[in-house]
Amino acid sequence: MKQLLMAAVLTLTGNILHAAEHVVLITIDGVRWQEAFRGLDRELALDDEYSERQQELLDLFWHDDANQRASLVMPFIHHTVMHQGVVVGNRDLGSCARLTNDYNFSYPGYNEILSGVINDDINSNAKRPNPEKTFLELLSANEQFGGRMAAFGSWDVFPYIYNTERSGIPVNVGPLAAPLTDFEHTLNLLHRDISAHWPTVRHDAFTHHYALSWLRERRPRVVHIAYGEPDDFAHDGRYDEYVLATRRVDRFVEEVWSTLQDIDGYRDNTVMFVTVDHGRGETPRDSWMHHASERAVQQYMQSLAQRFPQGIEGSDAIWMAALGPGVPASGQITTEECLTADRIAATLMTLLGEDPAKYNAVMGRVMREFLP
């Protein structure tokens, strides 16, 4: 029955698939494919240097079976998306997804995901306006989308990634400038009064609840929600908090999906796509904290050069997951070629019924694995 409902909303405009009216893109900063598909790393969980909450991690997330462990860390991805959508990136099963930018850290990664273009000059996390246009900005020129999109991020660099002065895309990384509801007023007060854990990254709970409120009150067509805590806990060397933050974000993603299904217009008419901006290391052990290419450690991340002169192996490895109308219920799939992050924007535009080549001919090509 669900497949029939999904098929009913598929139309063709010329040769362009039109599967959904809305897209929600969710990015989770720096969650490794290893935790997503293998679950808790017992060695890291029991390492006194990286984990203070050892018994709690074992009680919550340990199972002898890797699939069961992974589903304890990210139950929504495993119990819902893998049954109703497509999941790519479990390299243990021959499923490959990766970055194509030459740096393997956040600003280049988010630009690749959002614009579909690799710009070699985007080579730091500095707060510089992005010369590339995100797919949200490209779509905003279309009157069917203009004024009906927004982004919410925990990292304060996102207004620059979206180049808000040029694009006009509303990007929330702080209190809402114009709260509409009592709940949004309360969020603003809490945002002001609760200390941030890091100077440039707010708590994901604020990003999450601002985004949910925006969905309910303003009904945008395209939304990007960018959670950030897992990456920052990893850089702090707190494996316990990294895993707990990953579990928390999986719950947030589930709540986004449930909210969409509760709202007329979004229900059965929205694609949700989840991915990460980079991977992390696995060997040597301390490389799990880091991510950088060989070029990055020679330039922007020189502090890692002595320990990791070739960069962090595996930090280009990402994963992707999607569900919604037009997305086949294929579950975990193997890949003949490695799917790349520069193809995400074109895929989402295609699911919205738009031809990405008409907006930017040099974007990465569409991923047919996410289409009917």
302 burial level (CB within 10 Å; 0-12, 13-18, 19+): exposed
Is residue 130 within 8 A of residue 111, CB to CB? The reply is yes
Look at residue 121 in the predicted model and tell me its pLDDT: 97
Q: In degrees to the nearest 10, what's the CA dihedral of 55, 58, 59, 65?
A: -170
Q: Provide the pairing of β-strand 97-98 with 339-340.
A: parallel
Question: Residue ranges per domain, the chain?
Answer: 2-370
Structure tokens of 304? 């890692």
- pLDDT of 17 reads 84
Quick one: pLDDT at residue 313? 97
Q: Are 220 and 9 in contact (CB under 8 A)?
A: no
Is residue 340 within 8 Å of residue 98, measured between CB atoms?
yes
- The CA distance from 130 to 188, in Å, is 28
DSSP character string of 125-144: ------SSPPHHHHHHTSTT
* CATH number assigned to the domain covering 2-370: 3.40.720.10
Return the residue matching tokens 């070629």. 337
SS3 97: strand
Q: What is the pLDDT along the chain (372 residues), one digit of tens a residue?
A: 444 344 434 544 445 688 899 999 999 999 999 999 999 999 999 999 999 999 999 999 999 999 999 999 999 999 999 999 999 999 999 999 999 999 999 999 999 999 999 999 999 999 999 999 999 999 999 999 989 999 999 999 999 999 999 999 999 999 999 999 999 999 999 999 999 999 999 999 999 999 999 999 999 999 999 999 999 999 999 999 999 999 999 999 999 999 999 999 999 999 999 999 999 999 999 999 999 999 999 999 999 999 999 999 999 999 999 999 999 999 999 999 999 999 999 999 999 999 999 999 999 999 999 999
DSSP helix/strand/coil, 340 = strand
Q: Give the pTM.
A: 0.96
**pLDDT for the residue 27:** 99
pLDDT of the residue at 15: 55
295, burial (CB in 10 Å: exposed 0-12, middle 13-18, buried 19+): middle
- Tokens of residue 159, six digits: 């207004």
Q: Please give the distance of CA 137 from its chain centroid, rounded to a whole number.
A: 18
